[in-house]
Structure 1
Amino acid sequence: MHPSMISWQRKGVERMKTLSALLITLVLAASLSAQNDEQGRNVHNMRVQPFFFEALNFATYDDFGLTGRMDIYVHVPYDIITFIKKDEFYRGGYSITVLISHAEDSKITKEENWERSVDLLTFERTNDPSYYDLTQRSIALEPGTYSVEVIFEDEQSAKEFRLTRSIAIRKFDANLLDISDLMLVRDVANKGMKKQISPQINPNVAALKEGFDLFYEVYNPFRLGAVDIDYRIIRRGETVYKTHETQGLKEGTNTFLARIDNAGLAIGIYTLEVTLRRYNDSTAAGVLTQNKRQFLIEWLTAGAPISIVDLDEAIEQLRYYAKDDELEYIQGSEDEDIRRKRFEEFWENHNPTPGSSSNAAMIEYYNRVAFTNQHFGHYIDGWKTDRGMVYIIFGPPDYIDRHPLDVESKPYEVWEYYDLNRRFILIDETGFGDYRLLYPIWDDRNRLR
């Protein structure tokens, strides 16, 4: 940050601290206008990620042995679909495009497309993110590492969202015992003699307070009578949960459902590990196969997770909102439970609807933090950058005038806030996306009062 701006930041932040009521008013106004302000400010929803998808590696026995495939699941909350009233229904629709490319050369190798229609009876469900549409496709792929891009397009508004992640398709050997990827499951229903599972596509399991299930397959070319299966949850290198069971194995494909108890787990990122061992053999030589995956527990408010997975980092991120003495008080205890209690008390004191389990100011603040980490991070987290600071304090700009390739100047951006009568100029001195706040237009007309 430019040295002259350090003093400005402190003064500006102090003004923001003394005008928390104004900030809350702006947050609430932004939240209320989110559904109607199509052309204006890019107001946040209750979450940074609009929809979710999961790509998992399973296998199928065929004439060639054991062939790997990708099972892709797409979870679309109703609140990103535009519904229109038609007769007694609220009707909406969307399309999904899946582009699969080799990670090394970005060449698209496969493309899948499908469309969906959704009919609802009540208007309330059209805006409720807890209701969603789930679709699934299976795609055969050669072994390798792929980039998977999923594109959502709303039928009525033509708005578009894109998500990308990588997946490794393993080379399965029909002569060796192996295990599929691990799928999180939110619900299991009995349908006659079969079980019907509902996948948990969002890796955040905070809302599943009673625990969740884990689904996976084991591919077995042998006639083993039984195996020992160990389940372990790891956080920061320490085992925080473990359980064990013994299961019989048949030759061919074996499917398993295991119940995982997440009660008592704090917010954070976890690794779930499954290990198959020879029966009654706890040595390293007894390991037959193993797989692992990550899941997370984010802060949960009124049933809606927000983007907090590390308490101490969330406290540090309060620097743009909390006063110095408030921040020191929250951080002042070595006991994590006490820090959590103080953190909760701070946000309850700044809750625009005191006593309510939902805190719109907290949700908006940390959604802004998450947005800056996604879009402004480079060698430091996005919330620590100058663009991140401005975005977190003032929210999304009404307009950004970008100049990435001007011949006679370094790349720069001009952020305009029309309602606040403010302008910020940020310049990329290094050419690596590290935009520094160069000069805010600052006079008596646009000071916060």
Structure 2
Amino acid sequence: MTGKHLPNTPGRYGNFMLARNSLTRLFGAIRHRTVPAVAALTVLTVPAPPLHGQTPQKGTSIIVDAMVFHAPGITGKEFTDVYVAVPYQSIQFQQHDGRFVAAYNAHISVRDLLGRTIADTTIRRSMIEESYQVSQGSTGKADNIPVRFLLSPGSYRYEVMIEDQFSHREFTRTDTISVRDLSLTPALSSLMYVSQIEERSGRYAITPFIGSGIWDHSLHLFVFFEVYLETVPADVAIGWKITSADDKILIGGLGAPTEISQRTSQHFFPITAVRFPASGRYTMNVMLHPVSGGVADTSVILAQASRPYIIPRTLSSSVLSDLTKAIKQLAYVATQADMDNILAGTTEGEREYRFDQFWKTLDPTPNTVINEAFDEYYGRIATANRLFKTYADGWITDMGRVYIIYGEPTNKERARSVNGLTEYERWTYPDHTFMFEDSGFGEWRLRTPMPADAKYRYHR
């Protein structure tokens, strides 16, 4: 097996996409309408998952993805596109002439299962930002590298190593990729998640979503893929579904029957919003079905492709896993009217939408991907549950309530009464002091009245 790297001009993200024969055609429309070839494609920046509130593994603060597309006219080879997203919060920016700059080297290699190097390349990247906040990852921005290899059908392991030129830190990610022979038609390419598709003056611009971790339920994602046929025209229908580990179908859809007149055609469809019951690993499946008499025969699958659809366990996903409890926990930040309005939603989806809208009104940085108030508030609830739990959840206790509203006290003191029978604990804040009394059963009762209007407020 041999491989070849197709060179990419450093610093110009996406130019290999413009040169790519199969993607320089116009995208298929929603409902899988086939369209003529010829329009060009522009690749926009890729949003990076917010690392705040998550626990990324050490040394893996980069996101990688790999997809296989047919290489027309090249016998025994297929295009294998490796995408790398380097979140700004993973690399070090330095100030220079009033702006903020960063630089790193990316080494990408492909090996077969015997460990033999099939292809490798090193790319040097640099970024310049005007805003310090942007350079620190407040908007979720990432630097993106697309690299193309020509590989024979088979299984491979690819490795991406990022070396930060300023901090000298290194990040390494390895993964496997199976290259299928897409000349054996009918066939589907790999599935690509896309977060945005725009038409600009007759050109289509896409924003690829790198990786399989769907870290934000509010994302409006599309699935893009190519269909390869030997005999055209052909009447087909395209179906999709997301399944759990036990093959339970959580959501899916079936496109209208359509006639495909090209041997290579491009298609995309939106993923219908769905609230998953829990974080975990799911699978996105796309199937190509035959059509007879204008009706799709879903019992027959001409070709199919799948990829992971992973809901990471984040603070947000943990909170939303029990929406009813999350709404009750608003007691220290919302008014009763706010909570009643959220609970008045007639469906779970409507209640979740109202819950989300409530937190948007408290977001101190609405133009960024992180809601610091949400993260801090529910982070305090998690801490209160850990530190102050008795027969009830920690957030319900007196100490939990004070902690959630005011945060960590500047000073804590413990003392006993004169007769030594009762233990007290004093929490001191800049503007308040609270006294707790040990009930004797491990529960601390608040003995200092709280202000009537005491509510959590986010402070920068």
TM-score, length-normalised on structure 1? Answer: 0.57
2:275 matches 1:264: yes
Structure 1 residues 76-225: aligned runs within 5 Å: 76-103=86-113, 105-128=114-137, 130-173=140-183, 176-225=185-234
Closer, same or farther in 2 for the Cα pair 1:292/1:357, shift >3 Å?
same
- The residue type paired with residue 278 of structure 1 is P
Secondary structure at the counterpart of residue 286 of structure 1: coil
Aligned to 1:250: 261
- Aligned 8 A contact 1:297 1:309 in 2: no
Distance 1:166 1:309 in 2: 33
Q: Which of these residues, 279, 291, 296, is aligned with residue 279 of structure 1?
A: 291
Aligned to 2:307: 293
Does the 8 Å contact 1:296/1:309 carry over to 2? no
Q: Could you tell me how far apart the structure 2 residues matched to 1:219 and 1:55 are?
A: 19
Contact 2:319 2:326 in 1 (8 A): no
Q: Greater shift after overlay, 179-188 or 237-246?
A: 237-246
Alpha-carbon shift at residue 208 of structure 1 (Å): 5.0
RMSD: 3.4
1:252-401 pair list within 5 angstroms: 252-268=263-279, 269-280=281-292, 282-283=296-297, 286-301=300-315, 356-359=373-376, 362=379
Q: Which amino acid aligns with 1:198?
A: T
Partner residue of 1:58?
A: 69
Secondary structure at 2:89 match in 1: helix
Residues 364-398 of structure 1: CA deviation (Å, up to 9, x unaligned): x99xxxxxxxxxxxxxxxxxxxxxxxxxxxxxxxx
Offset, 1:341? 6.7
Does the aligned pair in 1 maintain the 2:236–2:296 contact within 8 Å?
A: no
What pairs with 1:405-416 in structure 2 (closer than 5 Å)?
Answer: none
**Which structure features the higher share of helix residues?**
1
SS at match of 2:375: coil
Structure 2 residue aligned with 1:420:
none
Aligned AA for 2:291? Answer: Y
Aligned residues: 289
Residue of structure 2 aligned with 1:239, choices 249, 266, 286? 249
Quote the offset at 1:47 in angstroms.
4.1
Which blocks of at least 5 consecutive residues in structure 2 are unaligned?
Answer: 1-50, 334-371, 384-460
CA apart distance, 1:360: 8.4
| 1:11-22 alignment runs, 5 A limit | none
| Alpha-carbon offset, residue 257 of structure 1 | 1.2
Given the superposition, is the C-alpha separation of residues 247 and 152 from structure 1 closer, same or farther in structure 2, using an over 3 Å criterion? farther
| Structure 1 unaligned regions, length at least 5 | 1-42, 312-335, 349-354, 367-449
- CA-to-aligned-CA distance 1:7-44 (integer Å, 9 cap, x gap): xxxxxxxxxxxxxxxxxxxxxxxxxxxxxxxxxxxx99
Q: Distance in 1 between matches of 2:52 and 2:216?
A: 21
Q: 1:76 & 1:100 partners in 2: Cα distance?
A: 19
What is the rounded CA distance, in whole Å, between the counterparts of 1:261 and 1:284 in structure 2? 20
**Structure 2: which amino acid aligns with 1:165?**
D
Match of 2:39 in 1: none
| Alpha-carbon distance between aligned partners in 2 of 1:285 and 1:357, rounded to the nearest angstrom | 46
What is the identity, as a one-letter code, of the residue corresponding to 1:145?
A: S
Task: Determine the structure 2 residue equivalent to 1:317.
Answer: none
CA separation in 2, counterparts of 1:289 and 1:202?
23
Contact kept, 8 Å, 1:232 with 1:272, in 2: the verdict is yes
Change (3 A) 1:122 1:151: same
